[in-house]
C-alpha cells in the first residue's frame, strides 16, 4: 500500500507527497457520499446532508481505495475532524407513569441545540435485588412515591459531571454515573435518575451518528423483529380479582411478520373480550392492558385464552401460543406458595412445578416466567431440569438483569432464559452486558417493559438492536403499550425486505 498519512482538518491524503484537498470532489457532497458507498465495509442508511454527517456515520477514519494513474490504485484517508456535539445541559422533571405514580423524564441538550428526551418506567412487582428506584418517602406527596430527590440528583449531581462529555461514549458516561453513586445498587442517586440520563445519551449518540436508535445500538446489523408476549389476562398484583398468577400472555409464534403477529394478537384480544362479555365477566383491564375478570380458577384463564385463539381463527400452539408470568414471589409466604386468591391454598416448589407440568400438557404453553420465588434457587434448578427441555423457563426476579445473578444461574442451570429490564440494573451499558452473558451461554432473553410505563419507545428500538427475538410490552390496548408496538411496525417497514421475524422456539416448544 502506498505511503499515506492522516491530515488535519478537512484534508484528504492521496498518493505520494502532495495532499489532495477535499475539493477534489468538487465540494460535491453527493459525490463524497457515493465514494463512501463504494467501500463495501460501509452501509450508510441514507445520503448525507452534510460532511459532518458523513464523518459521524463512518465513525472516524476510513481507508478508501481509488484509481491512480501513478500506482494503479492508491488509498485516500478520510479523518473525522468535525467535533462531535457535546452535552451542554441535562435536567429532569417529575412526571406520571401509566399507573399514576411519579417517575422521571430527562432532557439532554447538546451544545448544537438538539434536545433528547427519555422517560423511565417503574415496576409493581419488584425483585428485592433490583437497583434502587429512589422515592422521596414524603407521605404528604403522592403517598410517599414522589421522585423529587432523584430529579435533584440529575440536576445537581449528574448534570455538572457530564457537561462537555461526548454522548457517544456510552460506557464511559454510565461508568461515571455509577462512580458518582458509589453503591452497588445505585441507592444514592437512584437507578431511575441514572437510567434516564443513560437512555437520553443513547438517543443523542444515535442521532449524531445519523442512524436510527436500533441500528446504532445494534452496530448496523439489527434486523430481527421480536415476537411479542401480549398480556391479555391479568391477575396477581396487576388486578383486583381472584386470579393468583400475574400475567397470561399470547405469543403469535406462527406469524410471518411482526405486523401480522400484532394483528394475530390484537384479534385474539378482541375475541377474548367478546367471550368474557358473553359469559358475564367484566372486561375492565389491568395495569398492562389485559382483562381482569373474576374467574373461578387460574386454569380457567388458560381455557378462555385457548377459546379466544380459536375464535379469532387461529390454531392454538401453531399460530398463537401461551406464555405465563405467575410472579410467584408475590404469593410466596412462610416457605410456601399461597394460592389464596383462587382458594387453592399452600403449595411446595415441587407441587408448583407439577402444576405447571400438567398445564403444559393441557394447554399450548411455551414459556413460564418466575414460576417460583426469587430466592428459590433449588426449586428453579429442579423445575428447569424437569421442564426446561419442553418450554422456556424465564428468570426475572431471580436475576434482576444483574450479571452476578445471571452468572450464577448459568452455572447452576437455574433456567434457560432471562427477562431483561433496563431499570432493574439502571444503565444501558450494564443491560447490554447482561444480554452478552445470555448470548454466550446460549440462553434466550426477553426485553421487557414495567407495569408503570410511559410513552417512551426506547425499549422497542432496544429489542431490535439486541436481536433476542422476544419482547414483553403489554396488551393490544393502552397507549403506553401500543406505542412500543407501533414503533416496531415502523422499524419493520424501515428495514423492508431485510427484516427478519421468526419463531423463537424453533425446536417446537
Q: Which of 251, 463, 227 is nearest to 366 (CA)?
A: 251
Instruction: List the grid coordinates of 65.
Output: 481505495
Q: How many CB atoms lie within 10 A of CB 338?
A: 15
Are 52 and 207 a contacting pair, CB within 8 Å? no
Distance CA 243, CA 328 (A): 12
Distance CA 252, CA 393 (A): 18
What is the SS3 string spanning 36-89?
HHHCCCCCCCCCCCCHHHHHHHHCCCEEEEEEECCCEEEEEEECCCCCCCCEEE
Q: What are phi and psi of 243, to 5 degrees?
A: -100, 125
Residue 337 forms beta bridges with which residues? 332, 347
Which sequence positions are flagged as catalytic?
288, 421
Distance CA 210, CA 293 (A): 47
Q: Which of 312, 262, 331, 277 is nearest to 475 (CA)?
A: 262
Instruction: List the grid coordinates of 296.
Output: 373461578
Distance CA 265, CA 498 (A): 23
Contacts of 317 (CB under 8 A, 6+ apart): 364
At 494 the three-state DSSP class reads helix
Q: Which of 324, 360, 305 is nearest to 246 (CA)?
A: 324
- With vertex at residue 320, the alpha carbon angle to CA 316 and CA 323, rounded to the nearest 5 degrees, is 100
Amino acid at each position: 500500500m502506498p505511503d499515506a498519512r492522516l491530515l488535519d482538518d478537512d484534508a484528504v491524503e492521496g498518493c505520494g507527497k502532495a495532499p489532495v484537498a477535499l475539493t477534489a470532489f468538487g465540494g460535491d457532497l453527493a459525490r463524497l457520499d457515493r465514494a463512501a458507498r463504494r467501500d463495501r465495509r460501509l452501509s450508510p442508511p441514507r445520503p448525507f446532508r452534510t460532511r459532518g454527517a458523513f464523518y459521524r456515520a463512518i465513525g472516524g477514519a476510513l481507508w478508501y481505495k481509488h484509481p491512480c494513474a501513478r500506482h494503479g490504485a492508491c488509498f485516500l484517508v478520510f479523518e473525522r475532524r468535525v467535533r462531535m456535539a457535546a452535552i451542554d445541559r441535562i435536567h429532569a422533571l417529575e412526571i406520571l407513569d401509566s399507573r399514576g405514580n411519579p417517575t422521571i423524564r430527562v432532557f439532554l441538550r447538546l451544545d448544537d441545540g438538539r434536545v433528547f428526551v427519555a422517560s423511565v418506567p417503574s415496576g409493581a412487582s419488584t425483585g428485592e435485588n433490583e437497583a434502587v428506584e429512589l422515592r422521596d418517602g414524603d407521605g404528604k406527596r403522592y403517598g410517599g412515591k414522589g421522585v423529587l430527590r432523584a430529579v435533584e440528583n440529575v440536576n445537581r449531581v449528574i448534570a455538572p459531571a457530564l457537561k462537555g462529555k461526548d454522548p457517544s461514549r456510552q460506557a464511559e458516561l454510565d461508568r461515571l454515573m455509577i462512580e458518582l453513586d458509589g453503591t452497588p445498587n445505585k441507592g444514592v442517586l437512584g437507578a431511575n435518575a441514572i437510567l434516564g440520563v443513560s437512555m437520553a445519551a443513547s438517543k443523542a449518540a444515535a442521532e449524531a451518528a445519523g442512524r436510527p436508535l436500533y441500528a446504532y445500538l445494534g452496530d448496523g446489523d439489527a434486523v430481527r423483529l421480536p415476537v411479542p408476549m401480549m398480556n391479555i389476562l391479568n391477575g396477581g398484583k396487576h388486578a383486583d380479582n381472584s386470579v393468583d398468577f400475574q400475567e397470561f400472555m399470547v405469543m403469535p409464534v406462527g406469524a410471518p411478520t411482526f405486523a401480522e403477529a400484532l394483528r394475530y394478537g390484537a384479534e385474539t384480544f378482541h375475541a377474548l373480550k367478546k367471550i368474557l362479555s358473553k359469559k358475564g365477566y367484566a372486561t375492565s383491564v389491568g395495569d398492562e392492558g389485559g382483562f381482569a375478570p373474576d374467574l373461578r380458577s387460574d386454569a380457567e384463564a388458560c381455557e378462555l385464552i385457548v377459546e379466544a385463539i380459536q375464535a379469532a381463527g387461529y390454531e392454538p400452539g401453531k399460530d398463537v401460543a401461551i406464555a405465563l408470568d405467575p410472579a410467584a414471589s408475590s404469593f410466596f409466604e412462610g416457605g410456601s406458595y399461597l394460592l389464596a386468591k383462587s382458594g387453592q391454598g399452600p403449595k411446595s416448589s415441587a407441587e408448583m412445578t407439577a402444576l405447571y407440568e400438567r398445564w403444559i400438557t393441557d394447554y399450548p404453553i411455551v414459556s413460564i416466567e418466575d414460576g417460583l420465588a426469587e430466592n428459590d434457587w433449588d426449586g428453579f434448578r429442579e423445575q428447569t431440569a424437569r421442564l426446561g427441555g419442553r418450554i422456556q423457563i424465564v428468570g426475572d426476579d431471580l436475576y434482576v438483569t444483574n450479571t452476578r445473578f445471571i452468572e450464577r444461574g448459568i452455572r447452576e442451570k437455574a433456567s434457560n432464559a432471562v427477562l431483561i429490564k433496563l431499570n432493574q440494573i439502571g444503565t444501558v451499558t450494564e443491560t447490554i452486558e447482561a444480554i452478552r452473558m445470555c448470548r454466550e451461554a446460549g440462553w434466550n432473553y426477553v426485553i421487557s417493559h414495567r407495569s408503570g410505563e410511559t410513552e417512551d419507545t426506547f425499549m422497542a428500538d432496544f429489542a431490535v438492536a439486541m436481536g433476542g427475538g422476544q419482547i414483553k410490552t403489554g396488551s393490544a390496548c393502552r397507549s403506553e403499550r401500543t406505542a412500543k408496538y407501533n414503533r416496531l411496525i415502523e422499524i419493520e417497514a424501515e428495514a423492508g425486505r431485510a427484516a427478519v421475524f421468526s419463531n423463537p422456539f424453533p425446536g417446537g416448544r
